[in-house]
């Protein structure tokens, strides 16, 4: 890890090279945003939780993501879910 990235506090983990695969596997295990697969309303539930997260961010942080690219916002939230080691969006919403 370059020291400049560490100093800028823009890294999520500082690991030795031999520890990186284990951390990636751990993140992959928590990166499940569709625990409701098989239910017919799973997509609607995920969409509702996503809207609640955006609403919470707007209320608490004063940031309105309405006009941001939705794919980018979803990807960033998915990353945050994985980094927080939460199993799904509803669990992440509880954390927030």
Rounded Cα–Cα distance for residues 8 and 50 (Å): 30
State both tokens at 58: 């707007």
Show me where the domains of the chain are located: 3-95
Length in residues, the chain:
96
Of 26, 45, 25, residue with least CA distance to 35: 45
Tokens 């608490």 map to which residue? 60
Summarised one tens digit per residue, pLDDT across range 4-57 is 888 888 788 888 889 999 888 887 776 654 444 555 566 778 889 999 999 999
Rounded Cα–Cα distance for residues 74 and 64 (Å): 14
Summarised one tens digit per residue, pLDDT across range 50-96 is 999 999 999 999 999 888 998 999 989 988 888 888 888 899 999 99
């Amino acid at each position: 890890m370059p020291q400049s990235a560490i100093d800028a506090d823009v890294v999520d983990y500082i690991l030795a090279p031999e520890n990186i695969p284990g951390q990636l596997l751990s993140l992959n295990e928590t990166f499940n945003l569709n625990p409701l697969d098989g239910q017919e309303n799973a997509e609607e539930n995920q969409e509702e939780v996503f809207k609640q997260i955006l609403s919470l961010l707007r209320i608490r942080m004063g940031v309105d993501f309405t006009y941001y690219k939705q794919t980018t916002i979803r990807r960033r939230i998915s990353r945050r879910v994985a980094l927080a080691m939460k199993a799904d969006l509803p669990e992440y919403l509880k954390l927030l």
